[in-house]
Amino acid sequence: MEMARNNLLNIRLISPQVIELIEQYAAVNNCTQTEMLERIVLEWNAQQSESERPSGDEDE
């Protein structure tokens, strides 16, 4: 899933199965599908940022 530079996600790039999972997660977490998708994107971006850090700085 590729993010645009302005961090907007093109919903057409998401498969129907993933949309269904987002709907289910939203229901379980008592939030809207939009809110759930925002949470997913924020978590994805955070994980990507962590994986891009140079190694060797863990103890600083």
Indicate whether 11 belongs to any domain.
Answer: no
pTM of the model: 0.59
> What are the pLDDT digits (tens) for 3-46?
444 456 666 778 889 889 999 999 999 999 989 988 988 998 89
Indicate whether 34 belongs to any domain.
Answer: yes
Mean pLDDT, residues 50-54 taken together:
72
Indicate whether 36 belongs to any domain.
Answer: yes
Range of the domain at 36: 16-44
Q: How far is CA 28 from the centre of its chain?
A: 17
Count the domains in the chain.
Answer: 1
More confident: 56 or 40: 40
Task: Please give the Cα distance from 46 to 35 (Å, whole number).
Answer: 16
Q: Which of these, 36, 12, 41, lies nearest to 24 by C-alpha position?
A: 36
Q: Which of these, 37, 3, 35, lies nearest to 19 by C-alpha position?
A: 37
